[in-house]
Amino acid sequence: MSISRRTLLAAGAVAPLAAGLAPGRAAQSNAARFSLGFAPHEGSFASRGGLIEQIAFAADQGFTAWEDNEARARPVAQQAQMAKALSDRGMTMGVFVASMPKWAQSRPLLGANDDAEREAFLADIRSSVDVAKRLGAKCMTVVTGFRDPKVPLDVQTARVIDVMRRAGDIVAPHGLAMVMEPLNTRTDHPGVYMQSIAQGFAVARGANSPGVKVLADLYHEQIQSGNLIPVLDMCWSEIAYLQFGDNPGRDEPGTGEVNYANIVKWLRARRYTGVIGMEHGNSIDGRAGEDRLVAAYRAIDAQ
Ligand SMILES: O=C(O)C(=O)CO
């Protein structure tokens, strides 16, 4: 992997020579740090350069966390480079995806009669432990696959609970947790097994492992179920990670129907100190959209 001069500048390894920039200021920022752990991802600040430049820019804007769904597929050297960039800026690594469905094939079927897909899932989890350690991540996303129309749903649930418990036995001794992501079937992912935070809660309680928790992605939950604050309240003991995104459109807070200001107030009352993934796009392209993204998070952080 070649490392560009822009990357080195972003990492603060080369004194900035651009007119008007004082030497040594590249990795510094006057922006106040966000009080909650909002986590952008590669693409949030695409106009600023590649992965490492975007991390540096996010830090300069006051963001204290980062997430990267794609991290598992990145070369080891790039994973290490990203971890260093985050640690240099005092940022927390959020989730990466440990096991991703084959969307076009509607697989895996973790509740099906055949053991093979459960074993392949467990192999993904085993190999994700080293990735998590390299990145400094504490949580990894898992999507529990698709429903098998030939098997009663309750039987599938029992099998998903069993395989998640076995996966929990793999990650928990390392201080890691898998966070199962319920997804909506109405806009994005017809046929997925886990469709609500409440269903995730049931599987997590059944698995009864510190390594098996729920990722509450409020974009998906709003589409599928709504009633966001009462659901968070009921299921809070099993929720280990949050993601935001407005609906419709899956863009930054303020572009849709979700009252994120009130959700932030609720999280503050709960003294939530974890990461909140910004798993959405920008409603406007380019730098104007990036400015709007930062402003949207400043507005809800002020609650
Ligand atoms: O595919 C999606 O919509 C997800 O949120 C997966 O992380």
- Give the model confidence (pLDDT) of 128-182 as tens digits: 999 999 999 999 999 999 999 999 999 999 999 999 999 999 999 999 999 999 9
Q: What is the pTM of this model?
A: 0.91
- Cα 218 to ligand 1 centroid, rounded to whole Å: 11
In a domain, 114, yes or no: yes
Structural domain including 129 reads 44-301
Which residues contact residue 122 at a Cβ distance below 8 angstroms, ignoring those fewer than 6 apart? Answer: 163, 166, 167, 170
In a domain, 292, yes or no: yes
Residue 92 belongs to a domain with what CATH number?
Answer: 3.20.20.150
- Cα–Cα dist 127/170, whole Å: 10
- Cα 133 to ligand 1 centroid, rounded to whole Å: 23
- Cα–Cα dist 174/224, whole Å: 33
Give the per-residue pLDDT at 7: 38
| DSSP summary character for residue 134 | H
- Cα–Cα dist 278/94, whole Å: 10
Nearest CA to ligand 1 atom 2: 183
Q: What is the count of structural domains for the chain?
A: 1
* Best of 67, 140, 146, 183 for a ligand 1 pocket test (most atoms within 8 Å of beta carbon): 183
In a domain, 121, yes or no: yes
- Cα–Cα dist 39/60, whole Å: 13
Is the preceding peptide bond at 149 cis, omega within 30 degrees of 0? no
Q: How many residues does the chain have?
A: 303
- CB of 183 shorter than 6 A to ligand 1: yes
In whole angstroms, what separates CA 116 from the centre of its chain?
27
In a domain, 218, yes or no: yes
In a domain, 17, yes or no: no
In a domain, 132, yes or no: yes
| Ligand 1 atom showing the smallest separation from residue 250 Cα | 3
In a domain, 4, yes or no: no
In a domain, 288, yes or no: yes
Going by pLDDT thresholds of 50, 70 and 90, the confidence category of residue 28 is low
- Cα 181 to ligand 1 centroid, rounded to whole Å: 8
